[in-house]
A and B are shown apart, each in its own frame.
Chain A
């Protein structure tokens, strides 16, 4: 039977969860902000591994890319502008927050007794809507990856909202950090090309490869783990790497901050525009079955995606493709905007602004 496998995965689960507890405690205890940020990054990586063990590759991928990747970069950018050590707080001021945290923790533990066992096929989450998705996704949507079918189509309105949240973050960061004086973040001192040759050559090779990988993740989302969110973050990382190695001036010459903000807004326009086109063609908002008029659908060659005899849901196919493009645009441009917001802001520049 499967008992030994279960035991092995049980041990793995316990080990990973224990690591998470230790890491979380270490984040709380350490006074060095740099150490806390790096530990948080490790925490995200371990939880991504744990999500992988629980067979949730899409979530694991997002956690790795966002939690361990981009948010670490942003947090590092932020502590450049603060002092490196957390202020010591007297224990008296920690009593009430500590009690509240204990209360919340107790409530979480209490709630566990009401939840079904992990992986229980009869649990509500696995037997009601979740099961319906597994049964109907192939018929309704045609995408092999059910996660993509749910995120892109069944609950595509949520994904639109999430994309708008990203845009709101972009606008927020741009409002707070996007204006005012800043240094141009020149490449490290010295004549260009002295002892950073290796770094620059490596980066030059890596940037296109990272972008290629982002595109792979983007278009592979239909089949496996991936999609616009992850791809957008990965693409942004390529640009950020470019800025770190070649200097902010070079990067903003290629992608000006205004352009990044515009792309972020256009991504949402693409996504919501798909919804509006569906309405104009006689369906509901984001009803991709009405995305293409019959005339356009008739023009699609039967063998465009492999087997010509297999029926394709062209509306669903192109709808998901288009909204994932919108997500990619908004997410990548927002990450770049956030990086621009922090980059080049020195303590001196901020002090000058405050005196103004």
Chain B
């Protein structure tokens, strides 16, 4: 599939597409909050998410044709005004957010009815759309403080959305509180760091900041700013060992939120960290290289090993998949730590692959949760007989997670391993291989229970997911397969994004 050939909107609309991808879900959120019924709120949510995804697709096509897009807000040129600045990397992540957001919105029609009190549905949809708008804004903006604002837009609502899972699982409340405190500390660290960089450069625009930081890598405020920004975004990105909020929030929140957060929230934070690591901070600054070599790489490796083991020993299915998410973040950071274009491109591709597969797995569990309120792994014994389509879609996501050939996950893992070998980092290759084996162990356990065990006598019988769940679910699973065979769309964007960040660096 050639992205350049995608003319999905009129030129006049394409010119406004970056802001519309943010503003439409924003206004949609207000409309959903005012909606007369949960059903109306759901329809608004689906339409707004779909328009946002369409605009993100238009932006991606434009980026492939024109290169980096600038959109001035308020008509003021940066650095005085705020500008959106979309490169191929941002276009790819926003496309992921738009696609998963749309499918999740469709899915929410059934899952909310089963999991959240009916009187809360309109507000819930509003919060969901705000999260989506915030993440797209975070990815598109070219301004460091504006990114903080959108980080908060995408987070504040989701804290309460996680808590709304309390109807099904009371543990959602402490999990949401934990997430709130950790998330707020992360955001505060980020803004402290931005404050130091502003003090040292006098600008908030990222490109302008990068130009002015060039000679400032010995400045104490810049170094401290770097530390604060990386630590703050590390919390948001669930970088080991700052991931404590994640397993609870994913395991106990409503299915819709688990799937949307797992697919997109950590990705948006990781994306912002990549912007700072490879674009804003001075080229070849000693602290940047030290961080990649001696902090990010070992922590990434630790995440892969420790959290994969935690997933192996976890007893609840959603918790297993949540721990697996932290381990996958470790894989992505290993790709970053290679500090070259092929490593970054592979990591970006991995982010997309992981977003799609985890969304499919959480959505499948959400579909099953409509009929059985199962938590422990054993409760899922034999669901493949009662709900074959749902189970197959889960299985495709799981296969992609393991890295089975002909899935997107295989290409993603292989690209990072190849980049590690090309960069002479044998140990990263070895850690990735060990992590893949551990993944196979816990995924194998799940598949064995779901597909090859007899259901326990007297246990509640699972039912096949309703069509409103099956359609988005099968699309998600299908994407993991499609991009496993023809990966040109995400691949082109990932390579172009990585190349544009590294062309200035030797």
Contacts and interface: CB of A to CB of B under 8 A. Distances in A.
A130 to B, nearest CB: 6
A128 B201 contact: yes
A296 B119 CA distance: 43
A125 B160 contact: no
Interface in A192-245: none
A173 B223 CA distance: 37
Contact of B33 (A128, A158, A261): A261
B130 interface: yes
B429 interface: no
Q: What 6 A-B pairs are tightest by C-beta distance, nearest first?
A: A124-B202, A172-B160, A114-B221, A111-B224, A128-B202, A114-B220
A22 to B, nearest CB: 23
B436 interface: no
A190 to B, nearest CB: 35
Interface in B18-47: 19, 23, 26-27, 29-31, 33-34
A187 interface: no
A129 B146 contact: no
Interface stretch (A40-48, A73-81, A269-277): A269-277
A132 B80 contact: yes
B331 interface: no
A178 to B, nearest CB: 8
Interface string A107-122: 1101111111000000
A126 B29 CA distance: 38
Given A110-B223, A155-B81, A174-B123, 13 more contacts: A110-B220, A113-B221, A124-B212, A125-B199, A125-B202, A133-B80, A158-B145, A164-B130, A167-B130, A173-B160, A269-B30, A272-B27, A285-B74
A172 B127 contact: yes
B82 A171 contact: no
A284 B78 CA distance: 14
Contacts of A154: 74, 76, 80-81
Interface stretch (B52-60, B90-98, B150-158, B319-327): B150-158
A171 B160 contact: yes
A172 B198 CA distance: 31
Contact of B130 (A111, A171, A285): A171
A285 B23 contact: yes
Contacts of A133: 80
B157 A168 contact: yes
Interface in A142-178: 153-158, 161-162, 164-165, 167-169, 171-176, 178
Contact of A262 (B34, B159, B161): B34
> For chain A, which range describes its interface: under 10, 10 to 19, 20 to 34, or 35 or more residues?
35 or more
Contacts of B219: 114
What is the interface of chain B mostly: helix, strand, loop, or mixed? helix
B156 A165 contact: yes
Nearest to B18: A285
B23 A276 contact: yes
A107 B224 contact: yes
B73 A156 contact: yes
Interface residues of B, number: 64
A129 B16 contact: no
A108 B27 contact: no
A115 B26 contact: no
B428 to A, nearest CB: 28
B202 to A, nearest CB: 3
Contacts of B23: 272, 275-276, 285
Contact of B34 (A115, A132, A265): A265
Contacts of A285: 16, 19, 23, 71, 73-74
B492 interface: no
A344 interface: no
B222 interface: yes
A113 B220 contact: yes
A144 B313 CA distance: 64
A165 B29 CA distance: 12
Contact of B153 (A111, A168, A264, A283): A168
A289 interface: yes
B419 to A, nearest CB: 33
A283 B19 CA distance: 12
B224 A114 contact: yes
A130 B80 CA distance: 8
A115 B161 contact: no
A142 to B, nearest CB: 14
Nearest to A159: B149
A286 B126 CA distance: 23
B247 interface: no
Which of A115, A273, A283 has most chain B Cβ within 10 Å? A115
A174 B124 CA distance: 10
B202 A126 contact: yes
A111 B71 CA distance: 34
A338 interface: no
A155 to B, nearest CB: 6
A158 B123 contact: no
A266 interface: yes
A268 B27 CA distance: 8
A275 B134 CA distance: 17
A115 B73 contact: no
B82 A167 contact: no
A288 B74 contact: yes
Given A114-B219, A158-B82, A161-B146, A171 B202 contact: no
Interface string B419-438: 00000000000000000000
Contacts of A107: 224, 227-228
